[in-house]
């Protein structure tokens, strides 16, 4: 298993991917907070390594949560995170298939957990972005589970496509 690396630069999605992949390793190889920081920073390269060396000198007892906060401040600025929240707020199915819309919904929901922190909120947000042709056929069902809304939307989409 090869640990992920990060070189730095203003590529927020790569920065976030590095954090997520690193945390995935922590699920398999549990370690202390100090070990998490040590192991993660070991994989930093080039500019990111130089940034860490500057930070490390003033934060020799940093926790993983503190590291992530400093890392995100540097490589995934709040203005970009806010843009992702806005993108999620405005997300509509449009020309995407239900499956494509759901994939984008899930990806962007990560940036706005407060909007999907209950199944009810998640259902309503997802339904609200569906095309009217699909929405009209599933919202009358008053489905309570997100997975049920998704499944019905996929079925309705397939039925609509078959009729065309």
Could you tell me which residues are beta bridge partners of residue 44? 6
> Rounded CA gap, 147 and 94, in Å?
20
Q: What is the pLDDT of residue 29?
A: 87
User: Full-prediction pTM beyond 0.75?
Assistant: no
Mark the ranges of the chain whose per-residue pLDDT is less than 50.
none
> Rounded CA gap, 124 and 12, in Å?
29
Q: What is the pLDDT of residue 109?
A: 93
> Rounded CA gap, 45 and 131, in Å?
44
> Rounded CA gap, 114 and 85, in Å?
10
Q: What is the pLDDT of residue 33?
A: 87
Q: What is the pLDDT of residue 144?
A: 85
* 126 in Cβ contact with 102 (< 8 Å): yes
Domain assignments of the chain as residue spans, ordered by start: 12-76, 81-163
% of the chain exceeding 90 in pLDDT = 58
């Amino acid at each position: 298993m090869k640990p992920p690396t990060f070189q730095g630069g203003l590529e927020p999605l790569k920065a976030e991917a590095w954090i997520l992949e690193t945390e995935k390793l922590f699920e398999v190889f549990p370690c202390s907070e100090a070990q998490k920081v040590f192991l993660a920073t070991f994989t930093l390269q080039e500019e990111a390594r130089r940034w860490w060396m500057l930070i490390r000198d003033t934060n020799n007892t940093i926790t993983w949560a503190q590291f992530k906060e400093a890392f995100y401040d540097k490589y995934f600025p709040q203005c970009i995170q806010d843009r992702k929240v806005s993108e999620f707020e405005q997300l509509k199915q449009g020309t995407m298939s239900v499956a494509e819309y759901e994939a984008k919904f899930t990806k962007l929901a990560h940036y706005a957990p407060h909007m999907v922190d209950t199944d009810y909120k998640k259902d309503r947000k997802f339904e609200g972005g569906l095309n009217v042709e699909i929405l009209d056929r599933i919202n009358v069902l008053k489905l309570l589970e997100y997975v049920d809304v998704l499944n019905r939307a996929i079925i309705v989409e397939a039925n609509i496509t078959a009729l065309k």
